[in-house]
């Protein structure tokens, strides 16, 4: 694997189910090899490449949850 094999911060992958620009298979290979203290894969079922626009409410909720978890040390 090329790239960054390990990070010291939580990692969240926010993936649109219909994203053909960044296919899940490519991301899954990186995800599996990546070492992080916490990893979470989040599917956006009604989105393609831009879940932050296509499901903005759900994406906003994810960001708020990540912020809360980070503040609580989760």
User: 59 lies in a domain?
Assistant: yes
User: 49 lies in a domain?
Assistant: yes
User: 43 lies in a domain?
Assistant: yes
Domain boundaries, position 55 = 15-26+36-71
Q: How many domains does the chain have?
A: 1
- Rounded to whole angstroms, the Cα distance separating 12 from 18 reads 18
21-36 burial code (b ≥16 CB/10 A, e <16)? eeebeeeeeebeebee
Q: List, for residues 14-73, the tens digit of each pLDDT value.
A: 999 999 999 899 899 999 999 999 999 999 999 999 999 999 999 999 999 999 999 987
User: 6 lies in a domain?
Assistant: no
Q: Report the pLDDT value the prediction gives residue 28, as an integer from 0 to 100.
A: 93
User: 4 lies in a domain?
Assistant: no
């Amino acid at each position: 694997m090329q790239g960054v094999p390990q990070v010291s911060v939580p990692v969240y992958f926010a993936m649109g189910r219909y994203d053909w620009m960044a296919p899940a298979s490519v991301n899954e290979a990186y995800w599996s090899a990546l070492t992080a203290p916490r990893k979470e894969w989040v599917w956006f079922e009604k989105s393609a490449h831009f879940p932050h626009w296509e499901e903005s409410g759900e994406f906003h909720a994810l960001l708020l949850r990540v912020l809360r978890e980070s503040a609580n040390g989760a």
